[in-house]
Amino acid sequence: MSAATPVYIALGANLGEPQAQLRNAIAAIAALDGFSLVAQSSLYRTEPLGPPGQPDYLNAVLCGRWAGTPLALLDALQALETAAGRRRGAERWSARVLDLDILLFGERRISDARLTVPHYAMHERDFVLYPLAEIAPDLEIPGRGSVRELLAALPDNRSIPEKIA
């Protein structure tokens, strides 16, 4: 294993019992061999991006340190999604029992078939930026600016996520 790298992970769910699923996912991520939890945001209720008619999402962001490779973390997170009941191959942005995304992996830029870091759209998503701003408002997103600046630049046409817990 390599030295522990700071990582940021987005969590989302809008099927089943989202609050319990996110709490369980946070505990499961914190328990991963090679992961140490540094900070976690509150949970936020947000409007879904995808097809109409789906329930609101609950979202959160974690900061941790990971002592493995980016793809090993991706594999671990996808295993947690599968264990929670997520089935891959569904319509893009469809309702999910659990969605875990690596937002940042240290200062690395990664672009391969399985993983893009920084996450390709994190800089324009309120459901990522609000929880991220809670735990790391001055964090710099490579090539984009600080979380605080990105949050201030969001369009005013979306509702502000509601902090629920």
Q: Per residue in 76-114, pLDDT tens?
A: 999 999 898 766 665 555 678 899 999 999 999 999 999
- State the catalytic residue, choosing from 45, 96, 125, 126: 96
The domain limits of the chain are 5-163
CA separation for the pair 124, 52 (Å, rounded): 20
CATH of domain 5-163: 3.30.70.560
75 is catalytic: no
pLDDT mean across residues, the chain:
89
Are 117 and 104 in contact, with CB atoms under 8 Å apart?
Answer: yes
96 is catalytic: yes
- State the catalytic residue, choosing from 23, 75, 101, 144: 101
99 is catalytic: yes
CA separation for the pair 134, 106 (Å, rounded): 19
pLDDT in tens, 49-64: 777 788 999 999 999 9
86 is catalytic: yes
- State the catalytic residue, choosing from 45, 75, 92, 99: 99
pLDDT, position 52: 77
CA separation for the pair 66, 106 (Å, rounded): 10
pLDDT-derived band at 120, boundaries 50, 70, 90: confident
Share of the chain above pLDDT 90, in %: 63
Are 21 and 28 in contact, with CB atoms under 8 Å apart?
Answer: no
- Give the chain's largest Cα–Cα span: 45
- State the catalytic residue, choosing from 33, 45, 65, 86: 86
